[in-house]
């Protein structure tokens, strides 16, 4: 029950619907932080807007619940002014890839040492189920009653292309893996992105033929494949499956460290 120390338990039960995957992902985050023994007074958690972003209200840290899509912009400011703080961003798929898409691209490009956990339920849950950029094509949403005509995209490929140096995907079902990836993401010095596939039984599930949260997690189990397995599997086996695992990991100079060097140079005076 150690994890309860990391929560503001006087605010429980939380607002999320019964079976919502966000509670599971938030649990994974707290367990990952506990494994790393992070100093609770030196860890800041920042979120945007949406169901996922209400998480900051329950976490017993310095927490900042910002405006729609802007969690990474605020987090960049915090990390920039106090680089010794551990900064973690909680965002949803709508928040992160639609209105916050450019912040995401440029945080990745800068390789700023922030860990972003995207609670990905493929829908705007809080506002009752409008399709997001990650809603699968053909899925139903309040704004797509005949099925979504827009193709979704892979946010992990996007951030990798933009320059993120740690990229992983887990699911609420694959809870141990998810916890491990979040832990590695926090440990990593650079921009880390964890796509945490979650479920919204209320506003995605009901419209798309899922009778319960349990069925949605069963779906996560059946429609994913680990990158280790995928490497050996046939093309047919991998087709249409969601890859779970550490998708990308490398090292390059980190943004705030680069900036420190500029400060040093400027303070010495002389040529720039």
Name the 3-class secondary structure at 137.
coil
**Residue of the chain from 34, 36, 67, 154 that contacts another protein (CB under 8 A):** 67
243 binds ligand SF4 (CB under 6 A): no
Size of the chain in residues: 272
Look at residues 132, 78, 82, 71 and name the one whose alpha carbon lies nearest to residue 104: 71
- Please state the closest distance from residue 217 (CB atom) to another protein, in A: 7
**Residue of the chain from 32, 55, 105, 172 that contacts another protein (CB under 8 A):** 172
**Residue of the chain from 203, 220, 224, 256 that contacts ligand SF4 (CB under 6 A):** 203
135/140 Cα distance (integer angstroms): 9
32 contacts 49 by C-beta, under 8 angstroms:
no
Task: Give the nearer residue to ligand SF4 in terms of CB position, either 43 or 203.
Answer: 203
Residues in contact with 101: Cβ distance below 8 Å, sequence separation at least 6, in sequence order: 69, 133
Look at residues 97, 142, 128, 138 and name the one whose alpha carbon lies nearest to residue 200: 128
1 binds another protein (CB under 8 A): yes
Residues in contact with 225: Cβ distance below 8 Å, sequence separation at least 6, in sequence order: 233, 237, 238, 241, 242, 243, 244
Task: Give the nearer residue to another protein in terms of CB position, either 180 or 188.
Answer: 180
- Please state the closest distance from residue 166 (CB atom) to ligand SF4, in A: 26
Site for another protein in 178-197 (CB under 8 A): 179
21 binds another protein (CB under 8 A): yes
214/133 Cα distance (integer angstroms): 24
Rg of the chain on CA atoms, in Å: 19
Look at residues 104, 101, 119 and name the one whose alpha carbon lies nearest to residue 195: 119
Binding partner of residue 200 among ligand SF4, another protein, none, CB cut-off 5 to 8 Å per kind: ligand SF4
Task: Give the nearer residue to another protein in terms of CB position, either 85 or 257.
Answer: 85
Phi, psi of 244, rounded to the nearest 5 degrees: -115, 135
78 contacts 70 by C-beta, under 8 angstroms:
no
Task: Give the nearer residue to ligand SF4 in terms of CB position, either 200 or 247.
Answer: 200
Task: Give the nearer residue to ligand SF4 in terms of CB position, either 203 or 224.
Answer: 203
User: Would you list the DSSP string of 145-178?
Assistant: TT---S----HHHHHHHHT-SEEEEEESSSHHHH
Binding partner of residue 203 among ligand SF4, another protein, none, CB cut-off 5 to 8 Å per kind: ligand SF4
Site string for ligand SF4, 161-200 (x = CB under 6 A): ---------------------------------------x
138 binds another protein (CB under 8 A): no
Interface with another protein (CB under 8 A): 1, 3-4, 7-8, 11-14, 16-24, 27-28, 31, 40-42, 44, 49, 56-57, 60-67, 78, 82, 84-85, 172-173, 175-176, 179, 212-214, 217
Interface with ligand SF4 (CB under 6 A): 16-17, 20, 22, 51, 121, 125-126, 200-203
């Amino acid at each position: 029950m150690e994890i309860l120390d990391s929560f503001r338990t006087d605010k429980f039960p939380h607002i999320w619907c019964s079976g919502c995957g966000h509670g599971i992902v938030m649990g994974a985050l707290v367990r990952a932080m506990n494994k790393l023994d992070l100093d609770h007074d030196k860890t800041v958690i920042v979120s945007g807007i949406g169901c996922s972003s209400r998480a900051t209200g329950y976490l017993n840290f310095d927490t900042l619940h910002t405006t729609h899509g802007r969690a990474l912009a605020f987090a960049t400011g915090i990390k920039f002014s106090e680089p010794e703080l551990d900064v973690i961003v909680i965002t949803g798929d709508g928040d992160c890839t639609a209105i916050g898409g450019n912040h995401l691209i440029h945080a990745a490009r800068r390789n700023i040492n922030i860990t972003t956990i995207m609670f990905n339920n493929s829908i705007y849950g809080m506002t009752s189920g409008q399709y997001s950029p990650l809603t699968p094509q053909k899925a139903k949403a309040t704004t797509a009653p005949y099925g979504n005509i827009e193709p979704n995209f892979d946010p992990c490929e996007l951030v990798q292309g933009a320059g993120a140096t740690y990229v992983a995907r887990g699911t609420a079902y694959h809870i141990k893996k998810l916890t491990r990836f979040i832990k590695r993401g926090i440990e990593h010095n650079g921009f880390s992105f964890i796509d945490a596939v979650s479920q919204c039984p209320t506003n995605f599930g009901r419209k798309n033929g899922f009778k319960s949260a349990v069925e949605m997690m069963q779906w996560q189990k059946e429609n994913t494949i680990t990158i280790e397995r995928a490497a050996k599997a046939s093309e047919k086996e991998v087709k249409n499956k969601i890859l779970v695992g550490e998708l990308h990991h490398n090292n390059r100079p980190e943004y705030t460290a680069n900036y420190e060097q500029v400060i040093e140079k400027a303070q010495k005076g002389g040529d720039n």
